[in-house]
A and B are shown apart, each in its own frame.
Chain A
Amino acid sequence: MNKNKLKEFIFSLCSVMSVSGFEKRAEKPITELTAGMFDSTLTDAVGNRIFIKKCGKQNAPRVLIDAHLDEIGMIVTEVCKGGFLRIANLGGIDVSIMQAADVIVYGEKPLRGVIASTPPHLKKDDKLPAFSELLVDTGLSEDTLKELVDVGTPVGFAPIYGELLNGRLIGKSFDDKACAACALLAIAETPGEELAADVYVMLSATEETNRLGGVAAGAFRCDPDYAMVIDVNLARVPDTKDYETVEMDKGISISLSAATDRRLSMATAELCRRKDIPFSLIAAPSSTGTNATTVNLVGLGIPTVDVGLPLACMHTYNEVISMTDAMSLARLVREFVCSKEIAAEMTREEVSLI
């Protein structure tokens, strides 16, 4: 895979507004970005986007590759006097990153805005405001604002992207659309005849906000024999604990957890070893903290492996990932869906209980 092509695809996909709960607004731009890449695609009732690529064999097993489509963001809770917008967070956002952040208000038309902040000169103490005390300033008057924005309007961080040294990318919502971009491009570039299973790539809805995640409904519909859930993982930075984080540029992580399938996880690790894809194993005792925990229990149960892409500054507008790791992820996705060994081992047997 071409590194620059993947980088540009990551930037394009992550630029699309998909604030949690508003994934259907991303339908059209994503259709444009993925034109011609898959055999078929659909958006389900919940807002999950499913892409299908068939391997062309009769009675082929089905494999699901899931990365969530939604991103953290905000929602307007009140159009206030004086032309300001009160907001609430959708997904986990630390209030300490909010003041003076660039945002876009996705009303009748997109409006640029900034979170109002109190200058240090006027502050009496170091206390942070509560999220409900934050206000978006769009520069518009109260009357104009009321015509363009209503309670319930989504607000997203501004899509501003760049590169650091050593192939690091910086910008918003790499969590989790950078992973989705790796999966989509990897599958699209794999010739159908090399696939070991019919592939369902799902960009799932409401991972950041729903207790189960929209993924439950989407996985039920796809009804795969086995699944890989890809989400970002906490990258190691000074002051983090080694056992809670993964190192950047050292490849992807594979979780070993009570919530996922051990056999599939070990088979995926073995695949990495065989194909020389850098990876690390991490322990995620009772839950992976990702969609994997949900997918594993959908329908009659779906053997699931949880894969992580290291990411620093998680849940901010300046998330950081490594292109080296992104390339490793794309390679793993391709090898995973082409692995005849894994397909043979995971194809379910029909068991009758009666």
Chain B
Amino acid sequence: MKLYNTIKDLCLCPSVSGREEKIRDMLRELIKPFCDECATDNLGNLIAVKKGRGTENSKRIMLCAHMDEIGFLVNFIEDSGMLRVAPVGGISLPAAAFTRVVSEKGVKGAIVPEDKVKAADYKAQAFYIDIGAKDKKQAETKVAIGDFFVAAPSLEKLMGNRICGRPLDDRVGCAVVLGIAEALADVQLDHDIYYVFSVQEEVGCRGSQTAAFRVQPDIALCFDVTATGDTLGASPMACGLGGGAAIKIKDSSVICDEEITKALCRAAKENKIKHQKEVLLFGGTDTSSMQLAGAGAAAGAISIPTRYIHSGVEMCDLGDVQCCIDLGAEFIKSI
């Protein structure tokens, strides 16, 4: 229940790419008890460090989950009071159509396509947000050009261990990193562990790039959601809900370091943690930007299998989430 509540608290704190202040403040309070130092960098990444013993074998290990989410940016206000918006990140327009949205200032509204536009012809220019304003003047009392909106956050429990809502991408990854930090809080390690909550992942893995440049990790691990092959009509993919932690082999932005994926599999087997392998044929993650920042890092990822990513009904299995936490902690202890 504690894990569910953490995920829910994180989900209900809207923080679109480029506007991560609120979620950063929340995460700072949550990570503080488990680290020695905590700082925000120039881009807004939250970097917390748990210092190791500082021996000859000490490595720098960076664990990263992004704290931003996809959303919309107001770029024009019609005389009628309707808001024209530009997408921020990989918005699925069919999933966004006819849903409730909320602005960073708390203004509520609905996002809809123009009348008579068929689903097959959806494009962002044909979408607008209706906040109930009677005209432009009234709309401008609540909203300005440059304001961000997100699809309304929510989280609910379904049958068994399943949870459903948004934005599980990637608040569930943030919860996993928090879980690992808690599990390692009282463990004395050789290595310096950097817990990083990155900004602007959804617009091109930007935050993790500068964070990794600063941290210069030897080993970098990303915690993000991955798609599954267990929905109706899905492309073949040997990864599903309830199958445990997904050890990333590749996505379209990265091929993970083979030593890291092998070590993750070994840690999972030795500690009897349910796991599966992930070969994702699309999508990108912070794994790639960490791998190539500065002189590069051995990079891998533990992914949380998630259905219906970038919709309002993203779905995970709490059992898988716990497996990801256990695997992350055991992997670090094994290094």
Instruction: Report A's interface with B, CB cutoff 8 A.
Output: 20-22, 24-25, 44-48, 75-79, 86, 88, 90, 132, 150-152, 206, 209-212, 214, 216-218, 220-221
Contact = CB atoms under 8 A, between A and B. Distances in A.
Contacts of A86: 236
A209 B236 CA distance: 21
B257 interface: yes
B297 interface: yes
Given A78-B237, A79-B238, 17 more contacts: A24-B258, A24-B259, A45-B218, A45-B257, A45-B296, A78-B236, A86-B236, A90-B250, A150-B277, A151-B249, A152-B250, A210-B253, A210-B292, A214-B291, A218-B295, A220-B296, A221-B295
Contacts of B261: 152
Contacts of B299: 45
A151 B288 CA distance: 20
Given A132-B235, A220-B295, A77 B279 contact: yes
Contacts of B255: 20-22, 90, 206, 209-210
Contacts of A90: 250, 255
A46 B259 contact: no
19 contacts: A21-B256, A24-B258, A45-B257, A45-B295, A45-B297, A46-B257, A46-B291, A46-B297, A77-B279, A78-B237, A90-B250, A132-B235, A151-B277, A152-B277, A209-B255, A210-B291, A210-B292, A211-B288, A214-B291
Contact of B292 (A25, A151, A217): A217
Given A20-B255, A45-B295, A151 B250 contact: no
A77 B295 contact: no
A44 B295 contact: yes
B296 A221 contact: yes
B258 A217 contact: no
Contacts of A22: 255, 258
B188 to A, nearest CB: 26
Interface in B256-305: 256-259, 261, 277, 279, 281, 284, 288, 291-299
A89 to B, nearest CB: 9
Contact of A48 (B236, B257, B296): B296
Interface in B200-246: 218, 235-238
B254 interface: yes
A46 B236 CA distance: 29
A22 B249 CA distance: 11
B250 A75 contact: yes
Interface residues of B, number: 29
Interface of B: 218, 235-238, 249-250, 253-259, 261, 277, 279, 281, 284, 288, 291-299
Contacts of B257: 24, 45-47
A156 to B, nearest CB: 14
A151 B254 contact: no
Contact of A210 (B238, B254, B277): B254
Contacts of A77: 236-238, 279, 281
B12 to A, nearest CB: 33
Contacts of A214: 291-292, 296
Contact of A217 (B218, B238, B279, B291): B291
Contacts of A209: 250, 255
Contact of A75 (B249, B253, B297, B298): B249
Contacts of B297: 45-46
Nearest to B261: A152
A314 to B, nearest CB: 21
B253 to A, nearest CB: 6
Nearest to B217: A45
A210 B288 contact: yes
A171 B254 CA distance: 27
Contacts of A78: 236-238
A47 B293 CA distance: 14
A320 to B, nearest CB: 28
B300 to A, nearest CB: 11
A265 to B, nearest CB: 25
A19 to B, nearest CB: 9
A220 B277 contact: no
A299 B22 CA distance: 33
Contacts of A150: 277
Nearest to A212: B292
Contacts of A211: 253, 284, 288
B318 to A, nearest CB: 24
A206 B297 CA distance: 14
A132 B236 contact: yes
B236 A44 contact: no
A209 B253 CA distance: 7
Nearest to A150: B277
A47 B296 CA distance: 9
A88 B295 CA distance: 29
A210 B284 CA distance: 10
Nearest to A151: B277
Contacts of B235: 132
A88 B292 contact: no
A21 B238 contact: no
Nearest to B249: A152
Given A86-B236, A152-B279, A217-B291, A25 B296 contact: no
B253 A220 contact: no
Contacts of A221: 295-296
Contacts of A220: 294-296
Across chains A and B, which 10 residue pairs bring their CB atoms closest together, nearest first?
A21-B255, A217-B296, A152-B249, A46-B296, A221-B295, A151-B277, A45-B296, A45-B298, A77-B279, A216-B292
Contacts of B253: 210-211
Contacts of A88: 279, 281
A88 B277 CA distance: 14
Contacts of A132: 235-236, 281
A319 to B, nearest CB: 22
- Of A86, A90, A214, A217, chain B has the most CB atoms within 10 Å of the CB of A217
B90 to A, nearest CB: 15
Contacts of B279: 75-77, 88, 151-152
